[in-house]
Amino acid sequence: LNRRLAEFGTTIFAEMSALAVTTGSINLGQGFPDTDGPEEVREAAVRALREGRGNQYPPGPGIPELRTAIAAHQLSRYGLSYDPDTEVLVTAGATEAIAASLLALVEPGDEVVALEPYYDSYAASIAMAGGTRVPVTLRPHSAEEAGFRLDLDELRAAVTDRTRLLLINTPHNPTGTVLTRAELAAIAELAVERDLLVVTDEVYEHLVFDDAEHVPLASFPGMRERTVTIGSAGKTFSFTGWKVGWVTAAPELVAAVRAVKQFLTYVSSGPFQYAVAEALALPDSYFEEFRRSMLARRDILAKGLAEAGFRVFRPAGTYFITTDIRPLGEKDGFAFCRALPERAGVVAIPNAVFYDDREAGAPFVRFAFCKKEEVLREAAERLRAL
């Protein structure tokens, strides 16, 4: 592995999912649902495949039906108007969208400010682009219900003359934080004032709970022309294996990301693109039911974890719960997660992998709740025996 990437070996998700298999544990580590998305969407994929739609290279920017559906989704949900021909790009999952955006927009030596803890591919993609990552750490608020919060002064202080881009993620993996309208407005003001580009990973846009609200960064004044917004059918429709993601942005930004994408994968997911185009047109009831079912699961797992003695940061979004293991007399999340399959038959992710400052992340452990209710109840039962 070259020097830029030497620190990135196997992702923690692969390591922990393998451990779940070898120990026969319940896998609450890697975030993938144990129930596939809607039957009619699967049928749409089968139909496309049978009818020979998408079995050969689809168009570079994605099939027109899907680009139109993505634009319609941004318009109907958020009032954001994008031209399907020049302002939408289909990618091989959000993962490629992130990598291609950073490779397209970051020059070697540029600083990229990212919220820490950050989803693991951010650090690797910034490194591939030759950029320098500058973390701004979300910290637990003294009011338990507030969860992990962004300090706006720290964010402002992190921006230097070398900063090229802000890499934002809301709803936030792994903390479950949903940035508020006021926080997003402040981020937008900063981006405009310092003339920064923004890449915003909004793959959990449909998973917000309680009073939280997802507001796209691109909808703030001055942001539409500087913001690359990323979505994912893996997350929104529970088809993580299909690898269909997308980017919406101004034409020059989409053209730049597309220039990179064509040399990473060229195109991807042919027949699945047709199915996702249909999925995006599902009635509101699908999105509402998806949210409601994840909320019920969040509550089951949060209660179980609290009863088992963890400090639980109740997430306002995503399908992850971050916990603090110190009330259990533990302090090293890595050691805890490596031992947990043997001790309790459950797999979780040590949040330290999402931090530059591993010490700061050490006591936190993430559990995924995108699993059947009975699976979560069984996991909770096992954890109570710790």
Ramachandran region, residue 243 (left: φ > 0; alpha: ψ -120 to 50; beta: rest): left
| 168 vs 235: CA distance, rounded Å | 17
Residue 151 CB, shortest distance to ligand GLN, in Å, is 24
Residue 329 CB, shortest distance to ligand GLN, in Å, is 27
For residue 132, the partner it binds in ligand PMP, ligand GLN, none, with Cβ less than 5 to 8 A by kind, is: none
Report the residue closest to ligand PMP, judged by CB: 93
* 93: contact with ligand GLN by CB under 6 A: no
Residue 245 CB, shortest distance to ligand PMP, in Å, is 4
Which residues contact residue 181 at a Cβ distance below 8 angstroms, ignoring those fewer than 6 apart?
Answer: 213, 215
Distance of CA 140 to the CA centre of its chain: 20
The residue among 58, 61, 56 whose CA lies nearest residue 261 is 61
Identify the residue among 30, 74, 227, 322 touching ligand GLN (CB under 6 A): 30
> Residue 323 burial by CB count (10 A; 0-12/13-18/19+): exposed, middle or buried?
buried
For residue 93, the partner it binds in ligand GLN, ligand PMP, none, with Cβ less than 5 to 8 A by kind, is: ligand PMP
Ramachandran region, residue 300 (left: φ > 0; alpha: ψ -120 to 50; beta: rest): alpha
Which residues contact residue 219 at a Cβ distance below 8 angstroms, ignoring those fewer than 6 apart?
Answer: 78, 79, 80
Identify the residue among 82, 119, 286, 336 touching ligand PMP (CB under 6 A): 119
For residue 203, the partner it binds in ligand GLN, ligand PMP, none, with Cβ less than 5 to 8 A by kind, is: ligand PMP
Residue 11 CB, shortest distance to ligand PMP, in Å, is 10
Does residue 117 have a cis peptide bond before it, meaning omega lies within 30 degrees of 0? Answer: yes
* 13: contact with ligand GLN by CB under 6 A: yes
> 369 to each of 3, 27, 38, 177, 207, how far by Cα in Å?
36, 10, 18, 15, 12
The nearer residue to ligand GLN, 90 or 98, going by C-beta atoms, is 98
Binding mask 6-35 for ligand PMP (x = CB under 6 A): -------------------------x----
Identify the residue among 54, 245, 271, 304 touching ligand PMP (CB under 6 A): 245
Identify the residue among 27, 74, 173, 200 touching ligand GLN (CB under 6 A): 173
> 236 to each of 181, 294, 318, how far by Cα in Å?
22, 12, 10
List the helix and strand counts (H, then E) for the chain.
14, 15
* 31: contact with ligand GLN by CB under 6 A: yes
Site for ligand PMP, rule CB under 6 A: 31, 93-95, 119, 169, 173, 201, 203, 232, 234, 240, 245
Site for ligand GLN, rule CB under 6 A: 11, 13, 30-31, 173
